Amino acid sequence: MRNGIEFELTGKYALFTDPLTKIGGEKSTYQIPTYQSLKGIVESIYWKPSIIIYVDELRIINPIQMESKGIRPIEYSGGNTLAYYTYLKDVRYRVKAHFEFNPYRPELAADHNEHKHHNIMMRALKAGGRRDIYLGTRECQGYVEPCDFHGGNGFYDEIDELRFEPMVHGFNYPDETGKDELEVRLWRPVMNNGVIQFPKPNEIEQVRTIKQMKTKQFDHTNVQFVEDTLNEIE
């Protein structure tokens, strides 16, 4: 796909938290990553406010395994408490994503250079990302590297169809929708031969408004284009 990126994502543990499990102070992971968590990982590899990242497909390579651990999280009122967190174990995924220019950021139209962004993104991927990679939560370190999305063998390659329970797809932020609202999207994933295809956010029908929110503003005071930096060097 144009402006696309393919990478392998691995980690010893992952915690893609099911919000329903937070009520009692304990956390349990979804069986698979959410669209939003994968989008955040791609943005940790490379992101600019002039582009929007879209996750296209997820391929699950290793079998889905879970493990519970006793944790002592810090309470907001001070001190520690005891809780059990349920993590995914020994995860290995392959991800296919791409970027498009953000139509809700007309002030950044001068930064619409697809070859520049794609080249920088690929260099950042080879270096392991511009920022640290986390698999759902900060204590779950992840690692990325370029790969052939369809290469090699996966645990679920021979399973025609596997359906999952309804889960969070992601969030609609004002700077990507043009609306002054924060919304959450819900969907029911289906895996075919180890691959989950993600619909675009605007194709999700189950959407709920969480709260009112304003778009963050970007201008010459907090954004510097690469071209301007090169001109200063010259």
**How far, rounded to the nearest angstrom, does the alpha carbon of residue 147 sit from its chain's CA centroid?**
18
Q: Flag whether pLDDT at 229 surpasses 80.
A: no
CATH of 4-233, one of 3.40.50.10860, 3.10.20.30, 3.30.70.2660, 3.30.499.10: 3.30.70.2660
**71-85, 105-119, 164-178, 210-224: segment of lowest average pLDDT:** 210-224
Element (H, E) at 101: strand 83-101
> What is the rounded CA–CA span in Å between residue 222 and residue 109?
16
Give the residue from 87, 106, 96, 73 showing the smallest Cα distance to 9.
96
Q: Flag whether pLDDT at 154 surpasses 60.
A: yes
State the pTM of this model.
0.89
Six-digit token string for 96:
């296919």
Q: Which residue in this structure is represented by tokens 């031969």? A: 193
How do residues 41-88 score in pLDDT, each as one tens digit?
Answer: 999 999 999 999 999 999 999 999 999 998 887 777 777 888 889 999
- Phi first, then psi, for residue 162 (nearest 5°) are -140, 120
Six-digit token string for 144:
């990325």
> What is the rounded CA–CA span in Å between residue 63 and residue 8?
15
- Residue 130 to residues 95, 137, 198, Cα–Cα distance (Å): 17, 17, 25
Residue-range domain boundaries for the chain: 4-233
Give the residue from 76, 89, 88 showing the smallest Cα distance to 25.
76
Give the residue from 50, 54, 85 showing the smallest Cα distance to 224.
50
How do residues 17-48 score in pLDDT, each as one tens digit?
Answer: 998 887 767 889 999 999 999 999 999 999 99
- Residue 56 to residues 36, 77, 97, 204, Cα–Cα distance (Å): 12, 41, 5, 14
> What is the rounded CA–CA span in Å between residue 184 and residue 187?
10
> What's the pLDDT score for residue 215?
85
